[in-house]
Every structure is written in C-alpha cells, then in structure tokens.
C-alpha cells in the first residue's frame, strides 16, 4: 500500500492558515483587502475581544453571487488572476485565493453577500471548515464577513495570542496601514462597540495621519516626491528634530501594497544618516511606484514581503527622495546687491566687519590654532557690553552675539533668527576637515609616552581599529596585554585631547573611521562655555557654510535652530 496520501482539503486549509492567519490582525488585513479589491467605497470593521471573539467586515463593494460564495471559500479559487501573466502585473491585493478558506478552517465564518443591482443576497456558514448552512439573506448590496472564535479549534496557536488590548492594537495598526493607502475609501474601525478610528473618503495622506500621529510631528512633515522614469517615490517624512526612540512609524508601500522590507528601511535610515542620534528613528510614510516586473509580490502567503529586481536602484531612489527634503539651507546668501541689505533694520546702522567684496579673517580650523591668535581689535569698547550687530553681507548674515558662551546668534537675509550650537558647529567643521585630510595627518611624538589601562573588551576593540588609528598618526604600543602605551599622536591633537579622544573611542565603541574621526573632532573642538570673538563666530559660520552637511553635528545633533515668525508666534502662544 502506498504510504503517500493527499491530505484532505480541510487539513490543507488549516496548514495554509498557519501562514495566512497568524492572529486577528491578519484577518482584518485579509478581509479589508478583499473589500478594497471588490471596489468598496465604504468599509466598517468591528472587533470584539481584540478580534479573537469577532472580526466583522462590512463593505458596499461588488458582492458575490451564491455560487461564487461557495468557490470563495475553496482553496486556490480567486477572481483576481487567471494566468501567470496576470500574476506578473497583478494590481489587486489578493491573488492566491487562500485567505477565506484558511480563515474558514480555523473559525466560525459567516459570509453574506449581495451583488450590486439585486435586492436579495445569500449567506453561507462554515464551522472550522465544515459547511453548516446556506440560504437567502435580505441585505444591501455588498459583502459582510463575520469571523468568530478565531483559532478556537487550534489551542496550540490560540495560546500564542497576546492580551485583548495588544491584539486590538495590532488590528488597528493593520487597519490604519490600509487606510493610509486607500484615501478614496471611507473606513471605520470599531472595538467593543466603540468607534476607534474613522477616515472619511477623499482625505489626503496628511489629514489621515493627523488622526493617528502626534500633532507636532504632523505639522513638520515634509512632502517627499521624486519621479525617475517609470519609478516614483512619494509620501511624507518627519523632520529630524521630531525623531522618536521607536521604529514603528516607518511605513512603506510598493505599488500601494503595505510591505515590510529591509532595503526600504535601510534606504530611509540612510537618508537620515548623520541627522539623528544613534538611538533615534525617523518617521515616514513612503510609497514606491514601480513597474510590476521590477517587483515580485508573491514571496510569502501574507504578501507583506516583496523582492526587488534591482535592490540597489530602489535603495538609492528612496534615500535620495527623502534626503532631498531633509536638506535645509539656513545660511542663504542673499540675491540682492550687498549694499542694500540692512538686516539690522536701520539705514544709518553702523557697519562692522568686512564690507562687500572684502574677505573676512578666516577662523582657524583647530582650537589649538586659536591660542596663538591675537584677538581681533574692535576698538575701545569694554568687552562685556553687548556689541552692535556685525553685518556680513557676503554670507547674508548679521552676527548678533553669543548666548551663555554656548550659542551664537545670527540673523539671516530672510530675517530669520539662527541660533547655532558652537560646539556642534565646530565639531562638524573639524570632522569634515579631518575626513578630507585622512591620509595626510602627521604624527607628533610625545616626550613622555602616556599609558591607558584596558579591559579585555577594550583591548579587542582597539585591535579592530588599530590600523586605522595608525594611519591617522596615533603611535601606539600594547604592553602586558592590558596596558596601552601612547607614544605619538596626530599633530592636530594636544596630549590631553589625544588621550581623551582615545578614551571616548573605547567608551563609544568606535568601530569605523567615522567613529574615530568623530571622537577626534569632538575633543579638539571649541567647548560649550568658551567665549568667542565676533570674528571667530563669523569665521565659524563661514567654515560651516562650506561643509557638505551643515545641519547636524557628526553625532547627529542639530547644529542650528532657525526661528522665523511662525516659530516665534508659537512660542508666544499667538497661534
């Protein structure tokens, strides 16, 4: 007797259900997608007990004829594709014909449907895969799917469900995910009889987001838009100042299908690189529209994973599209002839600093160099009195002064107030300088070698970055496994700075060149709390304007706060 048998259909469905129906939220996703595929203009979802007791989805879509309803709960029966070619260019959410039979095999399912133009529909009731009853039902055109006691016949899976609240939240997340991509449809979610979310038809993306994301975040969202040939990226992205500590607001859609994809996540992170602290995440909703042959949607039964034909292209497109809108240019050089710019607001305001066409004294890149500089002479004013603004027309800036020896305050040519963090700004300048000069840093040998004691982990880390340190001019020797002897340092660091830089590399676990350069830049930059002369302040602004990235310090903190009328109004509670 043959030992191989074809499994009965009921068991086939239950096995398939293992992948398609993980939890109530999967049912919400599959049923709402079916409603959207049926062209519904309005969809209501009802949950009880986090969806385990009930998920009911009611739509006003095309509906089904009685014979089709029996097929709808048959495995691999679908109205959405008929051939491999159809699959290659599939536009609908569904195409595998697996959701309804899978759900029906692990719940009590009641399917009611009425096609448009008829005044009577029919129903079909199934318990754990067995057909119980069917017959006519008086109802409006559309479809109603009622799923009760999900997974009750599979205790092993039931016990993996979380609390009712957690399951309800997951249902709600899937519901919102679909709502953000189907703006023309009216969608409402109820839980335990209460309306949780209502999205009205024809709202735009930002309107829908404002119902579910914090107000401040939504106010500062930036529009993303990039067209390139057959590819289009659009959506919204948070400004880096609104980053959050969790990564759950990074939502991606490929040809309107909600997907989870590592390439897209890393492309988004790439766009924010250097603009966020290491523990922060961006928030964005990104839609990628690409030719169907560029993406395979049939990777997993839940259809939330995709495979791109050209991952690199997708990566660069998304990171460029987002990166573009994050670049800010606070320091706009004015269009007007310099003579007419009078930012101080008075025609007779005295003019300090270099005039148009003149060059300003450059701020040295390193603090070490400051020490040998004689402070510029500003006449006989006592140093403590607030100095009048210094006008620097070639930069489109007026320098107003320093706040608490930490922040430099400027007014730019559009009349916005710029508050610059001096340490962060200098760190950025030094970091870029070091990066451009990596190969040409000289060593300075120390008269007295210095020692640092190491833990095992620190020693291992040090070994990883040893050759990079040497190429930067650190002359190091390891003694007795645990003792690091520092014999020479890059010539740009004083002994104290060099040792501090090494310590912070070990503390921050710097593993790459950027990490090392950040530690060096941090140590040798102007500290917060140091007073700066006006020319130093303008010199720093000038150097910063030449940096590739001038909005964020190498650690990812913002360098400049820019306050215009709107921001001030908000602070003064006028809005």
Interface residues with ligand ADP (CB under 6 A) are 30, 34-35, 38, 59, 61-64, 72, 78-80, 94-100, 143
Question: Alpha helices of 451-575 — where are they, by DSSP H?
Answer: 456-471, 495-507, 513-524, 534-545, 565-571
* CA dihedral (426, 432, 433, 439) positive or negative: positive
Residue closer to ligand ADP, measured from CB, 86 or 311:
86
DSSP class of residue 452 equals E
Identified binder of Mg ion from the candidate list 34, 172, 525, 533, rule CB under 5 A:
34
Rounded to whole angstroms, the Cα distance separating 375 from 366 reads 15
Phi and psi for 253 in degrees, rounded to 5? -135, 135
Minimum CB–partner distance for residue 61 and ligand ADP (Å) = 5
Neighbour count for residue 176 (Cβ, 10 Å): 22
Residue closer to Mg ion, measured from CB, 79 or 244:
79
From first CA to last CA, the distance across the chain in angstroms is 83
Residue 421 interacting entry, from Mg ion, ligand ADP, none, C-beta within 5 to 8 Å by type: none
Residue closer to ligand ADP, measured from CB, 78 or 402:
78
Residue closer to ligand ADP, measured from CB, 93 or 407:
93
Residue closer to Mg ion, measured from CB, 82 or 572:
82
Identify any residues that bridge with 452 across adjacent strands, giving them in sequence order: 484
Neighbour count for residue 163 (Cβ, 10 Å): 9
Minimum CB–partner distance for residue 110 and ligand ADP (Å) = 13
Residue closer to Mg ion, measured from CB, 13 or 34:
34
Residue closer to Mg ion, measured from CB, 64 or 553:
64
Residue closer to Mg ion, measured from CB, 73 or 501:
73
Using rule CB under 5 A, residue 301 touches Mg ion:
no
Minimum CB–partner distance for residue 463 and Mg ion (Å) = 55
Residue closer to ligand ADP, measured from CB, 16 or 209:
16
Residue closer to ligand ADP, measured from CB, 80 or 444:
80
Residue 12 interacting entry, from Mg ion, ligand ADP, none, C-beta within 5 to 8 Å by type: none
Phi and psi for 504 in degrees, rounded to 5? -75, -25
CB 322, CB 286: distance < 8 Å:
yes
**Quick one: which H or E segment has residue 207?**
helix 205-210
Residue 59 interacting entry, from Mg ion, ligand ADP, none, C-beta within 5 to 8 Å by type: ligand ADP
Minimum CB–partner distance for residue 166 and Mg ion (Å) = 25
Minimum CB–partner distance for residue 21 and Mg ion (Å) = 12
Identify any residues that bridge with 259 across adjacent strands, giving them in sequence order: 252
The three-state secondary structure class of 426 is: helix
Residue 301 interacting entry, from Mg ion, ligand ADP, none, C-beta within 5 to 8 Å by type: none
Neighbour count for residue 243 (Cβ, 10 Å): 18
Minimum CB–partner distance for residue 20 and Mg ion (Å) = 9
Minimum CB–partner distance for residue 67 and ligand ADP (Å) = 12
Q: Which of residues 338-397 bind Mg ion (CB under 5 A)?
A: none
CB 137, CB 121: distance < 8 Å:
yes
Sheet order of strands, 397-403 included: 390-392, 397-403, 407-412, 417-421, 560-563
Rounded to whole angstroms, the Cα distance separating 150 from 103 reads 8
Write down the residue that tokens 């020797």 correspond to.
477
Residue 51 interacting entry, from Mg ion, ligand ADP, none, C-beta within 5 to 8 Å by type: none
State the residue number with the nearest CB to Mg ion: 94
Identified binder of Mg ion from the candidate list 94, 240, 389, 556, rule CB under 5 A:
94
Identified binder of Mg ion from the candidate list 16, 38, 81, 99, rule CB under 5 A:
99
Stretch that binds Mg ion, among 99-107, 158-166, 178-186, 331-339 (CB under 5 A): 99-107
State the residue number with the nearest CB to ligand ADP: 94
In Å, what is the CA distance from 183 to each residue of 289, 408, 427, 434? Answer: 16, 45, 45, 49
Minimum CB–partner distance for residue 160 and ligand ADP (Å) = 23
In Å, what is the CA distance from 20 to each residue of 41, 183, 415? Answer: 25, 25, 57
CB 295, CB 263: distance < 8 Å:
no
Minimum CB–partner distance for residue 46 and Mg ion (Å) = 19
Rounded to whole angstroms, the Cα distance separating 385 from 60 reads 73
Query: Which residues are near Mg ion by CB under 5 A?
Result: 34, 94, 99
């Amino acid at each position: 007797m043959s030992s191989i048998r074809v499994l009965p259909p009921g068991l086939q469905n239950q096995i398939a259900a293992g992948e398609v129906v993980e939890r109530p939220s999967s049912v919400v996703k599959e049923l709402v997608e079916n409603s959207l595929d049926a062209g519904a203009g309005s969809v209501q979802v009802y949950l009880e007990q986090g969806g385990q007791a009930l998920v009911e989805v009611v739509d006003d879509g095309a509906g089904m004829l009685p014979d089709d309803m029996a097929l709808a709960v048959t495995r691999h029966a679908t109205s959405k594709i008929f051939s491999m070619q159809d699959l290659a260019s599939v536009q609908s959410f569904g195409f595998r014909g697996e959701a309804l039979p899978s759900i029906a095999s692990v719940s009590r399912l009641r399917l009611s449907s009425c096609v448009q133009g008829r005044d009577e529909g029919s129903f079909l009731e199934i318990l754990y895969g067995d057909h119980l009853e069917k017959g006519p039902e008086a109802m409006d055109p559309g479809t109603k799917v009622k799923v009760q006691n999900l997974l009750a016949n599979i205790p092993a899976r039931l016990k993996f469900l979380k609390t009712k609240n957690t399951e309800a939240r997951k249902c709600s997340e899937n519901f919102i995910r679909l709502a953000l991509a189907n703006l023309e449809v009216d969608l409402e979610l109820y839980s335990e009889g209460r309306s949780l979310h209502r999205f009205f038809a024809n709202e735009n993306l930002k309107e829908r987001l404002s119902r579910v994301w914090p107000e401040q975040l939504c106010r500062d969202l930036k529009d993303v838009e990039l067209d390139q040939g057959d590819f289009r990226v659009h959506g919204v992205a948070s400004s880096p100042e609104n980053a959050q500590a969790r990564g759950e607001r990074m939502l991606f859609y490929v040809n309107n299908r909600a997907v989870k994809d590592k390439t897209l996540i890393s492309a988004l992170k790439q766009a924010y690189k250097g603009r966020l602290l290491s523990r922060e995440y961006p928030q964005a909703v990104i839609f990628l529209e690409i030719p169907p042959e560029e993406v395979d949607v049939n990777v997993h039964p839940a259809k939330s994973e995709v495979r791109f034909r050209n991952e690199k292209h997708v990566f660069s497109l998304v990171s460029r599209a987002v990166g573009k809108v994050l670049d800010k240019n606070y320091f706009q050089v004015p269009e007007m002839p310099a003579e007419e710019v009078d930012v101080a607001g008075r025609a007779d305001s005295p003019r300090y600093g270099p005039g148009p066409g003149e060059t300003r004294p450059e701020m040295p890149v390193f603090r070490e160099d400051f020490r040998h500089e004689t402070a510029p002479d500003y006449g006989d004013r006592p140093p403590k009195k607030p100095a009048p603004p210094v006008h620097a027309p070639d930069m489109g800036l007026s320098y107003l002064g320093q706040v608490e020896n930490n922040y430099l305050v400027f007014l730019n040519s559009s009349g916005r107030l710029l508050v610059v963090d001096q340490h962060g700004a200098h760190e950025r300048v030094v970091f870029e300088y070091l990066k451009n000069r990596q190969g040409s840093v000289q060593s300075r040998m120390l008269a007295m070698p210095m020692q640092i004691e190491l833990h095992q982990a620190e020693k291992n880390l040090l070994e990883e970055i040893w050759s990079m340190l040497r190429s930067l001019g650190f002359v190091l020797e390891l003694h007795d496994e645990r003792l690091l002897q520092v014999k020479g340092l890059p010539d740009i660091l004083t002994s104290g700075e060099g040792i501090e830089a090494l310590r912070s590399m070990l503390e921050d676990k710097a593993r790459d060149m950027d990490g090392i350069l950040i530690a060096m830049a941090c140590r040798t930059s102007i500290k917060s709390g140091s007073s700066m002369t006006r020319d130093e302040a303008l010199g720093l602004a000038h150097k910063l304007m030449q940096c590739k990235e001038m909005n964020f310090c190498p650690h990812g903190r913002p360098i400049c706060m820019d306050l215009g009328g709107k921001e001030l109004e908000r602070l003064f509670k006028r809005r």
